Structures are given as structure tokens and as C-alpha cells.
């Protein structure tokens, strides 16, 4: 079921973002501590005038929509945990936040790709304007995250 997979892929990436943003937030130290700490808190909580909510609330919205559309195929916690584990892999993060930020930037780019695929799927192949709009809103919100991470790493 390609439509369900689109939901699962997005949920796994959002859950990974939430976990890694939070861990990076805690790891902030050194001369950039205040800026990094505030930036990462903004990203994992979704604070700021241009962001509605952090990944944890986005996950809730996507999972509720998934359950409403596919009640016969509920998403098991193990499925999400295994997806997060696969996404992080055997990656070792260094001291401070630089390696976290590079990983998060790559993950935000991957999320944009998956959201683009999901939007096309729900606009063209399995039309559902509400779901396409949900994914478009996520893409819009995470475009801000991409910009902030790119500026921090520049």
C-alpha cells in the first residue's frame, strides 16, 4: 500500500528529527552555546512566528490522519522505532552540535523529498486534497528549518 508507506516514511523522519533535535539541543556548548541552544529548542519545539509546531505535534496530526484513513492498518510503535533506528543507523555524533546539525540538515532535505513524493501521490495517483494539503503544510514549515540549518552551517 503505497499511500500508507508515504505516511510511515514521513512519521519516521519526523520522529527522528524530534529525537535528534532534542539531543543536539542538550549537547550545545562552547562559544555558540546560547545561539545553538535557542535554535535547536526552536526546531524541536516548533517555536517561532513562522512555525506552527514541532515534530512531536506534527507526528500526532499525521498519525491521526493515517489512523482515520487506514484503520485496518494501524502503525505499531515497533514499526516507527525500527524506522528511526534504521534512519540513524550506526552514526556516531561528535562532541558539540556540528555533526548533529549536518545530520539534521540531510534529514530535513530527505523529508522535503518524501513530502514532495507524498504530495504528488495524493494529488494525482490517489487523490485526497486534505492529505495533500497536510503534507504541503509540513513541507512549508520544514522549509524554514532548512533555511535556519543552512544559515547556521554556512
One pLDDT digit (tens) per residue for the chain, 154 residues: 588 888 899 999 999 999 999 999 999 999 999 999 999 999 988 876 555 678 888 888 888 888 888 887 778 899 999 999 999 999 999 888 999 999 999 999 999 999 999 999 999 988 889 999 999 999 998 999 999 999 999 9
Question: What is the torsional sign of CA 129, 53, 13, 81?
Answer: negative
Q: What is the pLDDT of residue 81?
A: 95
Catalogue all structural domains in the chain, each as residue range(s) with its CATH number. Answer: 2-153 (1.20.1260.10)
Sign of CA dihedral 8, 114, 3, 44: positive
The full DSSP string for the chain is: -HHHHHHHHHHHHHHHHHHHHHHHHHH--GGGHHHHHHHHHHHHHT-STT----HHHHHHHHHHHHHHH-TTSPPPHHHHHHHHHHHHTT----SSSHHHHHHHHHHHHHHHHHHHHHHHIIIIIS--HHHHHHHHHHHHHHHHHHHHHHHHH-
Burial class of residue 90 (count of CB atoms within 10 Å of its CB; 0-12, 13-18, 19+): exposed
Q: What gap in Å lies between CA 83 and CA 150, rounded to an integer?
A: 25
Cα–Cα distance for residue pair 120/5, rounded to 1 Å: 14
State the cell numbers at 69.
484513513
Instruction: Please give the Cα distance from 5 to 90 (Å, whole number).
Output: 24
Amino acid at each position: 500500500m503505497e499511500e500508507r508507506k508515504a505516511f510511515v516514511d514521513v512519521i519516521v523522519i519526523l520522529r527522528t528529527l524530534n529525537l535528534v533535535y532534542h539531543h543536539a539541543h542538550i549537547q550545545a556548548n562552547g562559544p555558540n552555546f546560547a545561539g545553538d541552544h535557542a535554535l535547536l529548542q526552536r526546531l524541536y519545539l516548533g517555536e517561532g512566528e513562522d512555525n506552527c509546531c514541532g515534530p512531536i505535534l506534527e507526528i500526532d496530526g499525521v498519525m491521526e490522519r493515517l489512523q482515520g484513513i487506514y484503520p485496518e492498518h494501524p502503525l505499531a510503535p515497533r514499526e516507527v522505532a525500527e524506522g528511526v533506528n534504521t534512519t540513524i543507523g550506526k552514526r556516531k555524533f561528535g562532541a558539540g552540535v556540528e555533526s548533529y546539525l549536518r545530520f539534521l540538515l540531510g534529514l530535513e532535505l530527505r523529508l522535503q523529498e518524501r513530502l514532495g513524493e507524498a504530495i504528488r501521490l495524493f494529488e494525482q495517483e490517489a487523490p485526497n486534497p486534505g492529505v495533500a494539503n497536510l503534507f504541503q503544510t509540513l513541507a512549508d514549515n520544514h522549509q524554514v528549518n532548512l533555511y535556519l540549518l543552512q544559515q547556521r552551517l554556512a
